[in-house]
Chain A
Amino acid sequence: MKFVDEYRDPAAARVAVEQITALARGRHLKFMEVCGGHTHTIYKHGIENVLPESVELIHGPGCPVCVIPMGRVDDGIALAETPGVIFTSFGDMMRVPGSNGNLLEAKARGADVRMVYSPLDALRIARDNPDREVVFFAIGFETTAPSTAVTLLKARAANITNFSVFCNHVTIVPPLKAILESPDLRLDGFIGPGHVSTVIGNRPYRFVPAEYKLPLVTAGFEPLDILQSIVMLLQQIRDGRCEVENQYTRAVRDEGNLKALEIMAEVYEVRPHFEWRGLGFISQSALKLSDAFSPWDAELRFSVPGVRVADPKACQCGEVLKGVIKPWECKVFGTACTPETPIGTCMVSSEGACAAYYNYGRFTKGAAIPVRSA
């Protein structure tokens, strides 16, 4: 497959790993990959297993499913159980636990919950069912927010009034800042989120080198992309440089996608604050529909409980999301919490650090189990 296979070339990977080993010799460096897509690639392709011990990867908060707090899941389920509603959601959200079960269980109890691939599919369901109310559970960073925005513009243009959006879109820069302010974290650089950056570009990350003196390299999602971005980070450190660089030049332009940004500015406004699972409330970190789109805002059209629910005590998703502990260091990892019966969101999505580790890493990373039992 073009744009995929050539970035999985084992010979090139071997050379990149040798470079990484040489550049990192005598050091111990921690790089955080911000994006859940990267976490998925790292585990799927066993990248941690081929890296030298001098380079450690910390898995960041960039999985949009993992950061949705329980209260918002409960709100989604309440919407799904509202009579007359068809509730549409991406597949990843279906098994995310709320305080009283998940969307699949709500479906089993009789709610009309439907999985969609695209927000446009949800709009189509609304058009085809004019006597029903169709709600779309919108989640995702700036990667996904433009798609919901385009869908809302289409709903307005076609005057589809039985469609609404339960908006949980979040933005990447505020949690990055929250992590950088976290006192118990030591990092040497960031692997920047590739897909978010196709939309926002590379400029919003300039505060990372400017204010926190850390390098950031925006990276693509194939194994060679990740390895190359690590080489670029190490080269910056070797040269005493500290800047924002772009490894994913085939998809990311410095200025981002201006059309997407323009549409987002029209459809959304920034929420004063939003709760993140494990990270707590972060100000100006999420999007809501602007006044012009209030007729399509599910939170205004229906009554949602809006009750804040504390994260389960046993679950350490927060520490995992901040990179303070590794997934296997959580007390319930792989025992009470598995992808089949997740307690925390990091175990639900395939992009969550815990699920990725459970599915791909658990039986190959020998060090994992001794660390946990030590």
Chain B
Amino acid sequence: MCLGIPGQIVEIVDDEQHKAIAEVDGVRREVNVGLVAGDPGGISVGEWVLIHVGFAMSKLDEEEAAKTLEFLKLLGGGEYFEELDQFRESTPL
């Protein structure tokens, strides 16, 4: 139950009541965005949030997400890209 899942805000239903619709893997559900509404920039359609028990707990930062993946790539230096190429080539379609 402590798991959180990433979802994308697709509609703001009621700004005052903090009601929004989020889409998770094709499924849409109402979520409460009151806990992220006060973040810089508020919350708007198209943004990604971490959803836990019907509440958006945190906005997901695309730039930071990209940096994390970059760290992983840098970790292996050129190896990552070699691995990736091998992986692609070795995957039967």
Contact = CB atoms under 8 A, between A and B. Distances in A.
B2 A140 contact: yes
B58 A252 contact: yes
Given A11-B87, A121-B54, A260-B35, A3 B60 contact: yes
B4 A64 contact: no
Contacts of A18: 76, 79
A14 B83 contact: yes
A360 interface: no
Interface in B50-93: 50, 52-55, 57-58, 60-62, 64-65, 67-69, 71-73, 75-76, 79-80, 83-84, 86-87
Contact of A15 (B38, B48, B67, B83): B83
B2 A144 contact: yes
Contact of A16 (B32, B54, B67, B75): B75
Contacts of A285: none
A337 to B, nearest CB: 20
A166 to B, nearest CB: 16
Interface stretch (A32-40, A102-110, A210-218): A32-40
A249 B68 CA distance: 8
B79 A15 contact: yes
Interface string A274-312: 000000000000000000000000000000000000000
B12 to A, nearest CB: 17
A157 B16 CA distance: 13
A326 to B, nearest CB: 22
A2 B53 contact: no
A21 interface: no
B92 to A, nearest CB: 14
Contact of A257 (B57, B60, B71, B86): B57
A247 to B, nearest CB: 7
A249 B67 contact: yes
A12 to B, nearest CB: 5
A221 B49 CA distance: 14
Contacts of B53: 90, 117-119, 140, 144, 147
Interface in A117-143: 117-121, 139-141, 143
Nearest to A252: B58
Interface centre among A120, A195, A250 (most CB of B within 10 A): A250
A244 interface: no
Given A3-B65, A11-B86, A257-B35, A143 B76 contact: no
Contacts of B38: 258-259
B79 A150 contact: no
A195 B1 contact: no
B50 A198 contact: yes
Contacts of A199: 57
Contacts of B52: 143-144, 147, 195
A357 B31 CA distance: 32
A2 B54 contact: no
Contact of B60 (A1, A195, A250): A250
A6 B67 CA distance: 12
B54 A147 contact: yes
A11 B80 contact: yes
Interface of B: 1-4, 6, 8, 25, 32, 34-39, 48, 50, 52-55, 57-58, 60-62, 64-65, 67-69, 71-73, 75-76, 79-80, 83-84, 86-87
Given A18-B79, A251-B61, 17 more contacts: A1-B6, A1-B25, A2-B8, A14-B83, A16-B76, A18-B76, A35-B2, A36-B2, A64-B2, A140-B2, A143-B2, A147-B55, A150-B35, A231-B75, A251-B58, A259-B39, A351-B2
Across the A-B interface, give the 5 residue pairs with the lowest CB-CB distance, nearest first. Answer: A118-B54, A15-B76, A3-B6, A11-B83, A198-B58
27 contacts: A3-B60, A7-B69, A12-B83, A18-B79, A19-B76, A37-B3, A91-B1, A117-B54, A118-B54, A143-B2, A147-B53, A147-B54, A150-B35, A195-B3, A199-B57, A224-B72, A228-B72, A228-B75, A231-B75, A249-B61, A249-B68, A251-B61, A252-B58, A257-B35, A259-B35, A259-B39, A351-B3
